[in-house]
Chain A
């Protein structure tokens, strides 16, 4: 028998596949197809915020000390942050698994 591959029964889908819960895209883990992850060398970082601005998935969260913390749940490994960093502080590293 073919495995049921859906995540919701067709009978329970809202009309026209509408999404009734505002902002639920935040639950969508876009980080699961990443093949490389950015690693920041905070010794080189000048806190300019370019990585924070350019990341298309809003993966950098500003911290009180002015540095930026990376969020692995959303990061899809596109490498834009590493490309944009003026200090080459970000290196793309192969994911292990």
Chain B
């Protein structure tokens, strides 16, 4: 029977990895991911989890080990953050192009410089175009559940893609939350052992990672793109199956009081729950506001997004990263491109907020709405704004 416990969110992630009965963990510690892998290494050392724990010398080696392990047919896990993810990036492309169902928790943190260990979505956005599935958690229960989902999604033979589950560093990873931890029998009902469709086997030799000449490379990329797009069906099916078993249902775009909202916030990650409190307060003041939050970032759920937001007058898009020298926030540019073909679309106001661990308080959400109301009156969509920046 599942039990509801007060537990640090990072430890709950490790417990989910244990319940998924992984075969190999290769990881290098980096703030704020450390508690996850420290706990996993303890579980392995204490004999509670029968897996190989490979204490590699860098994140580059962590992902390289994961690739070897996954190619050999083992259920494989790693976790990292920020600079570690940047060091790993080269190898991350290889994991997705080789179609290896590695699962990775990314505890989101800003990138240097200035050197910062605090939370934003710079690392999440850095991974945007590398062909992995990217799922974003709101709270501790979600990251626990999503960790279990990820193995099932990634390892589905119609998917076979590595999967990242993101959670905000510190503001989520280091807090203690009440989380319902499933027991082994329950997890086993949902998640079956991994069967690789093409593992390395001397009896049936295959070559993986060979050169792709210009006459093959484009086809390789097209196949990978189709696989990522098609993964959405499996993601939806997996979430449905999990919901039917345990009562917690997930959608690619979650909404909060959005049905009749005139102004809708677009958020990702743990700021969403603060935003909910801000929405409740603004509703009391008679403002029709709501939220649409992104749980599935890659493949991007265009249809669900359009469905959730097109009726609103305006969107307040909150980016926790910036595409330097470009259109501003990567989330806002995604939303704008999603709405481009709509005959009638809401006014889009884009804010860069919460960089490098700066708090986004309820008042900041309110200020964004006030600013949006003002610019709507002028009728001209502004560019993006760094909210709260000291001039």
Contacts and interface: CB of A to CB of B under 8 A. Distances in A.
Interface of A: 5-11, 13-20, 22
A70 B220 CA distance: 35
Given A13-B223, A15-B99, A15-B197, A8 B207 contact: no
B188 interface: no
Contacts of B205: 22
A47 B206 CA distance: 38
Contact of A18 (B208, B214, B226): B208
Interface in B165-201: 197-198
Contact of B219 (A8, A16, A18, A20): A8
A28 to B, nearest CB: 9
B215 A6 contact: yes
B97 interface: yes
Nearest to B225: A10
A22 B207 contact: yes
Contact of B210 (A6, A15, A19): A19
26 contacts: A5-B215, A6-B216, A7-B216, A8-B216, A8-B219, A9-B219, A10-B218, A10-B219, A10-B220, A10-B222, A11-B223, A13-B216, A14-B206, A16-B100, A17-B208, A17-B210, A17-B212, A17-B223, A18-B98, A18-B198, A18-B208, A18-B210, A19-B206, A19-B208, A22-B205, A22-B207
Interface residues of B, number: 22
Contacts of A22: 205-207
| Closest 5 pairs between A and B when the two form their complex, measured CB to CB | A16-B99, A19-B207, A10-B219, A10-B222, A16-B98
Contacts of A13: 216, 219-220, 223
B9 interface: no
Contacts of B207: 18-19, 22
B214 A16 contact: no
B160 interface: yes
A8 B207 CA distance: 17
A10 B230 CA distance: 15
A15 B199 CA distance: 11
Interface in B217-254: 218-220, 222-223, 226
A18 B198 CA distance: 9
A14 B98 CA distance: 10
Contacts of B160: 15-16
Given A8-B216, A10-B219, 15 more contacts: A5-B214, A5-B215, A6-B215, A10-B220, A11-B223, A13-B219, A13-B223, A14-B198, A15-B160, A16-B100, A18-B206, A18-B208, A18-B210, A19-B206, A19-B207
